[in-house]
Structure 1
Protein backbone atom coordinates (compact mmCIF):
# COMPACT_ATOMS: atom_id res chain seq x y z
CA UNK A 1 0.00 0.00 0.00
CA UNK A 2 1.49 3.35 -0.97
CA UNK A 3 1.06 6.74 0.61
CA UNK A 4 -1.17 7.73 -2.31
CA UNK A 5 -3.63 5.07 -1.21
CA UNK A 6 -3.44 6.22 2.43
CA UNK A 7 -4.49 9.83 1.71
CA UNK A 8 -7.62 9.43 3.80
CA UNK A 9 -5.51 8.92 6.93
CA UNK A 10 -3.15 11.43 8.47
CA UNK A 11 0.53 10.61 8.87
CA UNK A 12 0.23 10.22 12.69
CA UNK A 13 -2.73 7.87 12.19
CA UNK A 14 -0.78 5.72 9.70
CA UNK A 15 2.25 5.63 12.04
CA UNK A 16 0.14 4.57 15.03
CA UNK A 17 -1.63 1.88 13.02
CA UNK A 18 1.72 0.52 11.83
CA UNK A 19 2.90 0.31 15.45
CA UNK A 20 -0.36 -1.32 16.58
CA UNK A 21 -0.26 -3.99 13.90
CA UNK A 22 3.48 -4.70 13.92
CA UNK A 23 3.88 -8.45 14.67
CA UNK A 24 0.40 -8.60 16.22
CA UNK A 25 -0.77 -12.04 17.32
CA UNK A 26 -4.09 -10.96 18.87
CA UNK A 27 -6.48 -9.11 16.55
CA UNK A 28 -7.76 -5.62 17.26
CA UNK A 29 -11.56 -5.42 17.19
CA UNK A 30 -13.29 -2.47 15.50
CA UNK A 31 -16.82 -2.26 14.13
CA UNK A 32 -17.32 -5.81 15.39
CA UNK A 33 -14.61 -7.13 13.04
CA UNK A 34 -11.16 -8.46 13.95
CA UNK A 35 -8.12 -6.92 12.24
CA UNK A 36 -4.74 -8.60 12.46
CA UNK A 37 -2.77 -6.68 9.82
CA UNK A 38 -2.11 -3.04 9.04
CA UNK A 39 -3.26 -3.46 5.44
CA UNK A 40 -6.62 -4.95 6.46
CA UNK A 41 -7.19 -2.18 8.99
CA UNK A 42 -6.31 0.60 6.53
CA UNK A 43 -8.44 -0.96 3.80
CA UNK A 44 -11.41 -1.03 6.18
CA UNK A 45 -10.84 2.52 7.43
CA UNK A 46 -10.56 3.93 3.90
CA UNK A 47 -13.84 2.25 2.92
CA UNK A 48 -15.70 4.28 5.59
CA UNK A 49 -17.04 7.83 5.53
CA UNK A 50 -14.89 10.35 7.42
CA UNK A 51 -16.98 10.37 10.62
CA UNK A 52 -17.20 6.59 10.71
CA UNK A 53 -13.47 6.35 9.92
CA UNK A 54 -12.59 8.55 12.88
CA UNK A 55 -14.81 6.50 15.19
CA UNK A 56 -13.36 3.17 13.97
CA UNK A 57 -9.80 4.51 14.31
CA UNK A 58 -10.53 5.61 17.87
CA UNK A 59 -12.03 2.19 18.61
CA UNK A 60 -8.90 0.43 17.27
CA UNK A 61 -6.67 2.69 19.31
CA UNK A 62 -8.70 2.15 22.50
CA UNK A 63 -8.91 -1.61 22.01
CA UNK A 64 -5.15 -1.93 21.50
CA UNK A 65 -4.50 0.28 24.54
CA UNK A 66 -6.87 -1.75 26.74
CA UNK A 67 -5.35 -5.07 25.64
CA UNK A 68 -1.83 -3.80 26.35
CA UNK A 69 -2.56 -3.53 30.07
Structure 2
Protein backbone atom coordinates (compact mmCIF):
# COMPACT_ATOMS: atom_id res chain seq x y z
CA UNK A 1 0.00 0.00 0.00
CA UNK A 2 1.37 3.38 -0.98
CA UNK A 3 1.54 6.06 1.73
CA UNK A 4 0.69 8.86 -0.72
CA UNK A 5 -2.63 7.26 -1.71
CA UNK A 6 -3.68 6.87 1.93
CA UNK A 7 -3.28 10.51 2.84
CA UNK A 8 -3.15 13.01 -0.06
CA UNK A 9 -2.54 15.95 2.31
CA UNK A 10 0.66 14.29 3.54
CA UNK A 11 2.21 14.79 0.10
CA UNK A 12 2.65 18.50 0.83
CA UNK A 13 3.70 17.94 4.43
CA UNK A 14 7.40 18.24 3.56
CA UNK A 15 8.43 21.50 2.00
CA UNK A 16 10.54 21.59 -1.12
CA UNK A 17 13.67 22.72 0.80
CA UNK A 18 13.13 19.88 3.30
CA UNK A 19 12.83 17.30 0.49
CA UNK A 20 15.92 18.68 -1.23
CA UNK A 21 17.99 18.56 1.96
CA UNK A 22 16.82 15.03 2.74
CA UNK A 23 17.76 13.91 -0.78
CA UNK A 24 21.24 15.37 -0.30
CA UNK A 25 21.61 13.81 3.15
CA UNK A 26 20.62 10.33 1.98
CA UNK A 27 22.34 10.37 -1.43
CA UNK A 28 24.92 7.59 -1.36
CA UNK A 29 24.67 7.15 2.42
CA UNK A 30 26.32 4.00 3.77
CA UNK A 31 25.83 4.70 7.48
CA UNK A 32 22.20 4.99 8.56
CA UNK A 33 20.79 7.93 10.48
CA UNK A 34 18.89 6.76 13.57
CA UNK A 35 15.79 8.70 14.63
CA UNK A 36 13.15 7.43 17.06
CA UNK A 37 15.15 4.19 17.41
CA UNK A 38 14.75 3.50 13.66
CA UNK A 39 17.64 3.52 11.19
CA UNK A 40 17.16 5.26 7.84
CA UNK A 41 19.50 4.71 4.93
CA UNK A 42 17.46 6.10 2.03
CA UNK A 43 15.44 9.21 1.26
CA UNK A 44 12.35 7.10 0.62
CA UNK A 45 12.53 5.41 4.05
CA UNK A 46 13.10 8.71 5.83
CA UNK A 47 10.38 10.64 4.02
CA UNK A 48 7.86 7.82 4.51
CA UNK A 49 8.58 7.88 8.24
CA UNK A 50 8.32 11.67 8.44
CA UNK A 51 5.00 11.71 6.59
CA UNK A 52 3.49 9.28 9.08
CA UNK A 53 4.26 11.58 12.03
CA UNK A 54 2.22 14.41 13.48
CA UNK A 55 3.51 17.87 12.41
CA UNK A 56 5.33 18.58 15.70
CA UNK A 57 6.96 15.14 15.75
CA UNK A 58 7.81 15.49 12.06
CA UNK A 59 9.68 18.74 12.66
CA UNK A 60 11.62 17.23 15.57
CA UNK A 61 12.55 14.11 13.57
CA UNK A 62 13.59 16.22 10.56
CA UNK A 63 15.84 18.35 12.77
CA UNK A 64 17.37 15.20 14.31
CA UNK A 65 18.16 13.87 10.81
CA UNK A 66 19.62 17.20 9.80
CA UNK A 67 21.87 17.38 12.87
CA UNK A 68 23.12 13.80 12.48
CA UNK A 69 24.05 14.41 8.85
CA UNK A 70 26.62 17.08 9.78
Normalized per residue, the structure richer in helix is 2
What is the aligned partner in structure 1 of residue 50 from structure 2?
45
Q: CA RMSD in A?
A: 1.8
Asked if the contact 1:6–1:42 (Cα under 8 Å) also holds between the matched residues in 2, the reply is no
The partner residue of 2:61 within 46, 56, 60 is: 56
**1: distance between equivalents of 2:69 and 2:28?**
13
Aligned residues: 64
In the TM superposition, structure 1's runs of 4+ consecutive aligned residues that sit over 6 Å from their partners are none
Q: TM-score when scaled to structure 1?
A: 0.85
